[in-house]
């Protein structure tokens, strides 16, 4: 089946269940979809040594990519069949450094679903719910 035959929630549920492969990006930024509900998504993410920057920490692009993914996925859960979306604004706050080899959760949730815009937020947290990064996103709905 093609993506247009699914609602966003159906599509992401199929990804979670292994019926549809994760996006190729998951090979570069290891992300495993572990929970999906309408307006809510959780990925497990683990930065690796390949994500270390010249200063010896995890590159900010790792966290930014995770946050773009979870804020977009939260919006995706709300899309009807054949409806797409694009991120128009992503505002990120890095709060504390992440560590290579440690597993975090990328959590995305819906704030508001409008006719043409969706507002979501995302967090990267550890097993104790300590926040490592936070984002808000605005996404434009594209109906064909």
What CA dihedral angle connects 77, 81, 82 and 84, to 10 degrees? -10
Write down the residue that tokens 């434009």 correspond to.
140
Residue 1 pLDDT > 60: no
Nearest partner of 46 among 33, 60, 29, 61, judged by Cα: 29
Sole residue written with tokens 């936070």: 134
pLDDT at 25: 86
- pLDDT digits over 69-119, tens only? 999 999 999 999 999 999 999 999 999 999 999 999 999 999 999 999 999
Tens-place pLDDT, residues 112-124: 999 999 999 999 9
Domain membership of residue 109 as a residue range: 3-142
Q: Total structural domains in the chain?
A: 1
pLDDT at position 3? 60
What pLDDT is recorded for position 26? 84
pLDDT tier, 27 (very low <50, low <70, confident <90, very high otherwise): confident
Q: Is the pLDDT of residue 4 over 80?
A: no
pLDDT tens by residue, 30-74: 999 999 999 999 999 999 999 999 999 999 999 999 999 999 999
In 1-144, DSSP assigns E strands to: 31-37, 40-45, 84-94, 104-113, 117-125, 131-142
If you average pLDDT over residues 15-30, what whole number do you get?
Answer: 91
- List the CATH number of the domain containing 90: 3.10.129.10
Q: What's the pLDDT score for residue 2?
A: 55
């Amino acid at each position: 089946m093609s993506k247009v035959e699914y609602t966003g929630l159906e599509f992401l549920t199929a990804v979670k269940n292994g019926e549809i492969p994760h996006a190729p990006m998951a090979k570069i930024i290891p992300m495993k979809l572990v929970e999906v509900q309408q307006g809510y998504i959780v990925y497990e993410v683990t930065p690796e040594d390949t994500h270390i920057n010249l200063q010896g920490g995890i590159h900010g692009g790792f966290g930014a990519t995770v946050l773009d993914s979870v804020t977009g996925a939260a919006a995706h859960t709300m899309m009807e069949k054949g409806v797409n979306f694009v991120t128009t604004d992503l505002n990120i706050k890095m709060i504390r450094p992440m560590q290579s080899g440690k597993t975090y959760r990328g959590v995305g949730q819906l704030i508001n679903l409008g006719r043409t815009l969706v507002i979501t937020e995302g967090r990267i947290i550890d097993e104790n719910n300590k926040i490592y990064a936070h984002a808000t996103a605005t996404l434009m709905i594209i109906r064909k």
